[in-house]
């Protein structure tokens, strides 16, 4: 078991742009397909045992019940051999071409089958983020018109959101049928909207309510009357809303909060927004999310570009870590921290709206796999703190185990107990039982 999870991630975003004619494959842009063995070695070099990583959905999921598991088999076997715990990122901003986009009402049912079949093929995996940043995915795809369906309406946004969150819930249920002690880490952007003037207060309050929508639905947290009316007026039915209220999966969840300098916004009198930079910071905003859901917290994403001085990202790492310690010392169950991602990324300066090939120096390593200053600083931070944190809370531990411990009698007993609990809560939506996974 683990008292604290230091983590990094492999950037595997894959949205489509230009009306679906082009895909932005960050695994390809960051040269992961050719360097994945080296990348996993770098994870070990940092002293990490947790890694956010998922297979490329558009190359793996070929149809309903049809898969090409070859790359997943190879990469996950290597992680298992290295005794690294993957937090499996199944859907990161994109779906295969044959699904279409997040307006497809069949997506939740189909995705549950994919999740179940993945878990069946890799039963030793315990940690999942079924759908990454559900709120951001729906916003960028269907409210701002940037990715995938590239729509810009409230109805399209609500449609995308309800399909994405239902897919996440159905995937959790499907995975629990295979791995009853699975733990789900909802990596979600933690946002805040600041009113610039009294005339902007109403709009800012609306945005600050809507920022919780994906997690409210996912955790079955009843929304307020104004938000309920907004959902009903934009295509959600009372029956669809009731589905979210009936799920009982919170006991399997960790609240993953992502925070960047761009997560806080300034709201103007005309309702438009612009970036405000860091005003409240990670600790204050995460406290708001914790107060709402009362779940263990993991800092699941942060980064900052290495600038001209060379120490900008190092200082940001220190600041985020200080914020996390503040929360933990105040009694909030914070169970992990993540610098995202392992390597530099590409084209996030345009929010993946353009395939320009522009390298963003955000990683612990550059794309030649040389360490950046923040990579060296993170390695030192891990070495300095990994032994102290358990002594601060000997009773707080994640019930997760290394791949090498999966056959331990304690782990098997935990699964048996979890299985008895899962049987009583898995009702209503099931994945398509007719689909059978294809062997690679």
Q: What are phi and psi of 254, to 5 degrees?
A: -120, 135
Residue 299 has a pLDDT of 98
Task: Give the single-character DSSP code of 371.
Answer: B
Residue 63 has a pLDDT of 98
CA distance 401 to 83: 10
Report the CATH number of the 5-423 domain. 3.20.20.80
Q: What are phi and psi of 148, to 5 degrees?
A: 50, -110
Residue 248 has a pLDDT of 84
* CB distance 141 to 15 below 8 Å: yes
Residue 426 has a pLDDT of 60
Instruction: Tell me whether strands 16-17 and 22-23 are parallel, antiparallel or unpaired.
Output: antiparallel
- Judge whether residue 64 has pLDDT over 80: yes
Residue 414 has a pLDDT of 84
Q: What are phi and psi of 286, to 5 degrees?
A: -65, -35
Least confident stretch, 61-65, 162-166, 327-331, 420-424: 420-424
Residue 177 has a pLDDT of 96
Mapped onto helix, strand or coil, the DSSP state of residue 347 is coil
Per-residue pLDDT tens digits for 316-336: 999 999 999 999 999 999 999
Q: How confident is the model at residue 392 (pLDDT cuts 50, 70, 90)?
A: low
Q: ∠ CA 167-169-172 to the nearest 5 degrees?
A: 105
Q: Hey, what's the torsion of the CAs at 335, 264, 19, 166, to 10 degrees?
A: 40
Burial of 194 by CB count in 10 Å (0-12 exposed, 13-18 middle, 19+ buried)?
A: middle
- Other Cβ atoms less than 10 A from the Cβ of 292: the count is 14
Q: How confident is the model at residue 395 (pLDDT cuts 50, 70, 90)?
A: low
- Judge whether residue 295 has pLDDT over 50: yes
- Judge whether residue 166 has pLDDT over 70: yes
Among 413, 433, 412, CA closest to 123: 412
Least confident stretch, 143-147, 295-299, 403-407: 403-407
Per-residue pLDDT tens digits for 299-310: 999 999 999 999
CA distance 391 to 329: 13
- Judge whether residue 440 has pLDDT over 60: no
* CB distance 39 to 32 below 8 Å: yes
| Mean pLDDT score across all residues of the chain | 94
- Judge whether residue 137 has pLDDT over 80: yes
- Judge whether residue 429 has pLDDT over 90: no
Half-sphere exposure of 160 (CA within 13 A, CB side): 31
Residue 437 has a pLDDT of 44
Domain range annotation of the chain: 5-423
Please name the helix (run of DSSP H) or strand (run of DSSP E) that holds residue 5, with its range, or none: strand 5-9
What would the mean pLDDT of 260-283 be, rounded to a whole number? 97
Residue 432 has a pLDDT of 54
Burial 251-287 (b: 16+ CB within 10 A, else e): ebbbbbbbbbeebbbbbbeeeebeebebebbbbebbb
What would the mean pLDDT of 36-51 be, rounded to a whole number? 98
Mapped onto helix, strand or coil, the DSSP state of residue 131 is strand
Residue 341 has a pLDDT of 97
Q: How confident is the model at residue 15 (pLDDT cuts 50, 70, 90)?
A: very high
- Residue 262 Cα to chain centre, angstroms: 17
What would the mean pLDDT of 47-71 be, rounded to a whole number? 98
- Judge whether residue 406 has pLDDT over 90: no
Strand ranges for 320-428 from DSSP E: 334-339, 345-346, 359-360
Least confident stretch, 84-88, 104-108, 168-172, 403-407: 403-407
Task: Give the single-character DSSP code of 279.
Answer: S
- Judge whether residue 186 has pLDDT over 80: yes
Among 360, 296, 254, 266, CA closest to 13: 360
Per-residue pLDDT tens digits for 194-242: 999 999 999 999 999 999 999 999 999 999 999 999 999 999 999 999 9
CA distance 401 to 145: 41
């Amino acid at each position: 078991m683990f008292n604290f999870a230091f983590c990094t991630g492999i950037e595997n975003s894959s949205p489509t742009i230009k009306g679906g004619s082009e895909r932005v494959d960050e695994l390809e842009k960051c040269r992961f397909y050719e360097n994945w063995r080296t990348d996993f070695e770098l994870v070990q070099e940092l002293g990490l045992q947790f890694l956010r990583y998922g297979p490329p959905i558009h190359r793996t999921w070929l149809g309903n019940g049809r898969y090409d598991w070859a790359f997943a088999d190879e990469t996950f076997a290597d992680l298992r051999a290295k005794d690294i715990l993957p937090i499996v990122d199944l859907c990161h901003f994109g779906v295969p071409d044959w699904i279409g986009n997040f307006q497809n009402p069949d997506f939740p049912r189909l995705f549950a089958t994919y999740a179940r079949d993945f878990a069946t093929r890799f039963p030793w995996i315990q940690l999942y983020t079924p759908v990454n940043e559900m709120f951001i995915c729906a916003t960028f795809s269907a409210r701002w018109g940037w990715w995938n369906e590239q729509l810009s309406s409230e109805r399209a946004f609500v449609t995308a959101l309800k399909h994405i969150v239902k897919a996440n819930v159905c995937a959790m249920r499907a995975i629990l049928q295979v791995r009853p002690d699975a733990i789900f880490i909802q990596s979600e952007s933690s946002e805040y909207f600041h009113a610039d003037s009294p005339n902007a207060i109403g709009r800012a309050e609306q945005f600050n309510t809507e920022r919780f929508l994906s997690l409210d639905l996912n955790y079955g947290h009843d929304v307020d009357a104004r938000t309920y009316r907004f959902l009903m007026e934009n295509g959600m039915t009372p029956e669809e809303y009731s589905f979210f209220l009936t799920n009982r999966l919170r006991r399997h969840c960790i609240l993953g909060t992502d925070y960047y300098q761009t997560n806080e916004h300034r709201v103007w009198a005309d309702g438009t927004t612009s970036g405000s930079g860091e005003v409240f910071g990670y600790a204050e905003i995460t406290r708001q999310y914790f107060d709402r859901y009362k779940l263990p917290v993991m800092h699941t994403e942060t980064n900052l570009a290495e600038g001209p001085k060379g120490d900008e990202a190092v200082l940001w790492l220190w600041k985020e870590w200080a914020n996390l310690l503040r929360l933990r010392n105040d009694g909030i169950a914070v169970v992990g921290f993540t610098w995202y991602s392992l390597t530099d990324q590409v084209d996030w300066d345009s929010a993946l709206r353009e395939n320009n090939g522009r390298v963003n120096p955000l990683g612990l390593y550059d794309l030649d796999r040389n360490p950046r200053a923040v990579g060296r600083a993170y390695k030192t931070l891990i070495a300095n703190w990994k032994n102290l944190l358990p002594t601060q809370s000997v009773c707080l531990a994640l019930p997760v185990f290394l791949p090498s411990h999966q056959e331990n009698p304690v782990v098997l007993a935990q699964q048996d107990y979890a299985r008895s609990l899962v049987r009583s809560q898995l009702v209503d939506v099931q994945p398509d039982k007719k689909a059978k996974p294809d062997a690679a």
